[in-house]
Amino acid sequence: MKYTVLLLAAGMAAAPAAFAQKVDIQPIPDLPLRNVPPAGATVPSAPEWKFSLGGGVSDAPRYEGSATSRLRFMPLLEASYGHFFISPLRGVGYNFSDDRDLEYGLRLAPGHARWQNADPRLSGMGDIRYSLEAGMFLNLRAAPWYLSSGLTAGSHGTHAELGGGIGLPVSAADRLRLGMNANWGNTRYNQTYFGVTPAQAQASGNVLTQYDATAGAKDVALTANWAHSFSKAWFSSVGLSHKRLTGSAQYSPLTVRRTANSFNFLMGYRF
């Protein structure tokens, strides 16, 4: 176990370098991680390391508002020790709750990046690089219902998310989750991803026009996720989502298509 922890720590340290080289990855919604204890159980008093390793692919828009999509690699590299968790995607955080049906805490995570070479429509917009964001989260479960929420702030602005849905056991090894998510951004956040400055409009060859995005709801999405456990350790996850941009995001010159569908598949190993 000692060497496993060292290898995982090395992977975490290498993650920023990978981001700097523009490795394009997607967050994974409703991912079933770790071995969840029986209902009503509490976190063991003696903490222990738990890991989830794996990977998969996602077919999603090249950027929010794009008319085309492409396959992306999705890495799964997560670890937890008691209330503490760490992941290149979810960041580093701490859950203050001992109740498996209530989670609340703080985290640091990489903000969403966007590269102008991802799509011809982004020509002249420049790169939006990864930056560290600080936030808080609150998740509730009241079987079969669940609620998730978060508030995060960084150099790109402040954004919040709220989601909820129902988890349905299909069999002893299969579980289906159906939900709805909504995202909100302040003026700075929406301007970062959907606004166009005069300089950017000029750099695009005047293909894009100046646009000032405003604070408000950014998108809403319907999601479906099917998780299958092959054994106590091996599992797979298949997800579908239908997202619609709202507010000022839908009227941005960068938005070619307001609605988008995405698909992801992942295989993982828990230990």
When pLDDT is cut at 50, 70 and 90, the band that residue 21 belongs to is very low
19: phi then psi, degrees, rounded to nearest 5 = -60, -40
Q: Which residue is associated with the tokens 């071995």?
A: 35
Query: Tell me: the pLDDT tens digits for 162-221?
Result: 999 999 999 999 999 999 999 999 999 999 999 999 999 999 999 999 999 999 999 999
**pLDDT at residue 8 above 70?**
no
Counting residues of the chain whose pLDDT is more than 90, the rounded percentage is 71
Give the C-alpha distances (Å, rounded to integers) separating 222 from 219, 237, 241, 260: 10, 17, 6, 11
Q: What is the largest CA-CA distance in the chain?
A: 61
**Is residue 53 scored above 80 in pLDDT?**
yes
Task: Using the predicted structure, report yes or no on whether residue 49 has a pLDDT greater than 80.
Answer: yes
Does residue 90 contact residue 105 with C-beta atoms inside 8 Å?
no
Predicted pLDDT at 12: 44
- Note whether 41 and 100 are within 8 A (CB): yes
DSSP 24-39: -----TT---S-PPPT
State the average pLDDT over residues 242-254: 97
Average pLDDT, the chain: 85
Q: Report the topology of domain 2-27+47-270.
A: Porin (2.40.160)
With a CB cutoff of 8 Å and minimum separation 6, the contacts of 120 are none
Asked whether the predicted pLDDT for residue 133 surpasses 60, the reply is yes
**pLDDT (average), residues 254-271:** 94
Mean pLDDT of the region 234-241: 93
Q: Which residue has the higher pLDDT, 193 or 111?
A: 193
- Given this model, what pLDDT does residue 28 score? 44
- Output the six-digit token pair for 264: 């992801």
Decide if 39 contacts 143 (C-beta within 8 A).
yes
pLDDT at 135 over 50: yes
- pLDDT of 45: 58
Give the mean model confidence (pLDDT) for residues 139-156. 93
**Of 73 and 10, more confident:** 73
pLDDT band at 44 (very low <50, low <70, confident <90, very high): low
Range with the poorest average pLDDT among 41-50, 92-101, 216-225:
41-50
> pTM here?
0.84
Higher pLDDT, 235 or 28: 235
Residue 204 CB partners (closer than 8 Å, separation 6+): 123, 124, 125, 196
User: Where residue 89 falls among pLDDT bands split at 50, 70, 90?
Assistant: confident
